[in-house]
A and B are shown apart, each in its own frame.
Chain A
Amino acid sequence: MIQLEKRPQPSRLWTFLTPMLAVVITMIVGGALFAALGKNPVEAIRTIFWDPLFGEFAFYYRPQLLVKAAPLILIAIGLSLGFKAGIWNIGAEGQYIMGALAGAGVGLAFYPLEAAYIFPLMVIAGALGGWAWGMIPGLLKTRFGTNEILVSLMLVYVAEQLLAKMALGLLRNPDGRGFPGSRNLQQYPSAHNAEIIAGTGIHWGVVAALIAVIFAYILFTRHLLGYQIRLAGQAPKAARFAGVNPARLTLVCLGLSGALAGLAGMFEVSGPAGQINIDFNVGYGFTAIIVAFLGRLHPVGILLAGLLLALTFIGGENAESNLGLPAAAIQMFQGMLLFFLLAVDVLTNFRLRWKTAEVV
């Protein structure tokens, strides 16, 4: 019979292999699911994983991958800081909304003035908006010992209400015939987060995501804070002896992850989305949690995981409209990815052993 034997140390090899193994298993089981729905599984898998990258219209989808992946990566990098230290910010979606509201609010306050300083101000406001929203669970935790998981999650719903309020009230487009939604920032050059090089999909949010990856990599390999984060996560007591101030670390992690989520929201609202609206948030803050874990909380892993998830989103949409696959099947396919990742994770920490039953 098969027995699990705990490894003395997590296997380095399997740490790299399990995500790929999870993708392969997802393809096989997902393919079976698609076949059961009466679709050609090979064609479906090809549509999801191959066509966006190398198909006929790859020139359009490749840039879109960056557009879709950038907010995921930016948010996930921030979350990974806290997750490594055992600080669980589940409310990135709310911080994303607040960043977008603050950024767009500053931009719209200047409308219709055209000036070069407007966009940088919006970036700062976006980061501050997300930071402030992240600091609420941080301060409540350090002052009153509340649970940051619950508080940050609840604040998502508060942020959603505020978003609806803003889309219907303060930020509503005065020329919009009474319909909810702000002015479209894409039509306001000073506030528009346009593509830096047209046709590449690279807007400032993509640049920020890449900078965040590099910054996080250096932080974890070279910087004292990165060391403290890892120590706090792996051995909280030892961390305290080593002089880590847990309250300060909580505030830094929640503040930083909030700021990055806020930036993601700001870049999204001023670029691809264009306007503040009631349905502005589409779940990047929650999907980023999957990205962070799929990427093993490692900056480079998160970069790849963000791109992979973006691929399943875009390829999944194509499969929906080209092959007539139901949206639910695509969502299930994406869910499988995380499910199998967690399932095969066992191989990282455990060894499989064949054991013959012992004779007594």
Chain B
Amino acid sequence: MSLTRILASAVMALGLAGTALAEDKTKVGFIYVGPIGDGGWTYEHDQGRLAVEEHFGDKVETVFQESVPEGADAERAITQMALQGADLIFTTSFGYMDSTINVASKFPDVKFEHATGFKTADNVSVYSARFYEGRAIQGHIAGKMTKSNVIGYIASFPIPEVIRGINAAYIHAKAVNPDVEFKVIWVYTWFDPPKEADAATALIDQGADVILQHTDSTAPQAAAEKAGVISFGQASDMAEYAPLPRVSSIIDNWAPYYIARTQAVIDGSWESTETWDGIAPGMVEIGAISDAVPAAIKAEALAMKDLIASGQYHPFTGPLNKQDGTPWLAEGEVADDGTLLGMDFYVEGLTAEIPQ
């Protein structure tokens, strides 16, 4: 145990030396789970990185590593960035959580920001976006647009984040179309174009005429285009598929957050925080609703967006029951963040089961 500690402090000392060398420039590192050209999740994080470079110019240097597997390799990649003198490191996938915490304990003077996780430390912040706000608007449009009343959903992993998205979309599709039915396929990946395309095709074969995706590639868009059904861009605008099949999108805009946190490191005012922002501060954006959507539906969707942004409407507002019929939220009651962050149940009406 003591030997480990000696090593840790040796590493730490060298880390400090490394930081000192690069003291004129603030070095910001990014660890990506996919390739920067995925057109979705990682692409948007990289846009955030580029925005940091643009905003600070010569004062900041950024480095990144793409397609880093979660696990032992991630720990090495993060360590190597810290060793090379990074002052602030963003680890942009849930699976980097324990690795980020491990490395952070060895480099107390480097700041870490972990996306979508829940473990913090003195030098580790977490941040995520309230994507479910965008999902609610998607659900509304999807419920109005579907003719077969079957909506296909390509889900990645059965984690609260994804389940929350399915619930939010379902609640709002159901509200405008009581006959709507959701079919969910779990692909167990964030980025695997062939698998995502297969899932989209399978859903379309089962009668879905609207495809929602919680994976990062544009492959489902291409499949939807071929089959003549509609889809929504995920993480990134995916505007190259507009006006059809892509009728709108949820865009993750990390740039303001990344710039603010980098500024905090430069100013020395950085503190460990937990951020969960939505449409209001602009972390979640709704991509332009295309002309394929009738003007009336478009106006409703935008009105909902404004209500969410102003805080007048919360997408999880009672009365809502859980899937098994037990009451969850009473009339007018709003879900608390704790329940939302740990959401492991479907709402009433969803027929599928969450994989166990």
Contact = CB atoms under 8 A, between A and B. Distances in A.
A208 interface: no
Contacts of B22: none
Contacts of B118: 177
B342 A178 contact: yes
Interface string B59-94: 000011111011111011101110110000000001
Interface string A125-159: 00000000000000000000000000000000000
A191 interface: no
A180 B73 CA distance: 19
Contacts of A179: 94, 159-160
A282 B74 CA distance: 11
B214 to A, nearest CB: 15
Interface in B68-124: 69-73, 75-77, 79-81, 83-84, 94-95, 98, 102, 118
B94 A274 contact: no
B9 to A, nearest CB: 11
Contacts of A321: 29, 63-65, 77, 80-81, 84
Interface string B22-38: 00000001000001000
Given A178-B344, A198-B6, A321-B65, A67 B356 contact: no
A93 interface: no
B69 A282 contact: yes
A80 interface: no
A59 B7 CA distance: 10
A215 interface: no
A53 to B, nearest CB: 14
A57 B343 contact: no
B83 A328 contact: no
Contacts of A169: 356
B302 interface: no
Given A198-B4, A199-B3, A321-B80, A277 B95 contact: yes
Contact of A279 (B71, B75, B76): B71
Nearest to A317: B77
A44 B14 CA distance: 23
A282 to B, nearest CB: 4
Interface string B130-165: 000000000000000000000000000111100000
B202 interface: no
Contacts of B73: 282, 317
Interface string A153-171: 0000000000011001100
**Do most interface residues of chain A lie in helix, strand or loop, or is the interface mixed?**
loop
A177 B160 contact: yes
Contacts, number: 99
A333 to B, nearest CB: 14
Contacts of A180: 157-159
B276 interface: no
Contacts of A278: 157, 188
A177 B118 CA distance: 9
Which of B73, B77, B118 gathers the greatest number of chain A CB atoms within 10 Å?
B73
Contacts of A314: 76
A275 B76 contact: no
B311 to A, nearest CB: 26
A199 B11 CA distance: 10
Contact of A198 (B7, B14, B65, B343): B7
Which of A61, A165, A277, A320 gathers the greatest number of chain B CB atoms within 10 Å?
A320
A10 interface: no
B162 to A, nearest CB: 11
B65 A273 contact: no
28 contacts: A59-B14, A60-B11, A165-B355, A169-B356, A178-B342, A178-B343, A179-B94, A186-B102, A198-B7, A199-B10, A272-B71, A272-B72, A274-B98, A277-B70, A279-B69, A279-B95, A282-B69, A282-B71, A318-B80, A320-B65, A321-B63, A321-B77, A321-B80, A321-B81, A322-B63, A326-B35, A326-B66, A328-B35
Interface of A: 57, 59-61, 64, 67, 164-165, 168-169, 177-181, 184, 186, 195, 197-199, 268, 272-275, 277-280, 282, 314, 317-318, 320-322, 324, 326-328
Rank and list the top 7 A-B pairs by shortest CB-CB distance, nearest first. Answer: A272-B72, A198-B3, A178-B344, A199-B7, A321-B65, A282-B69, A273-B71
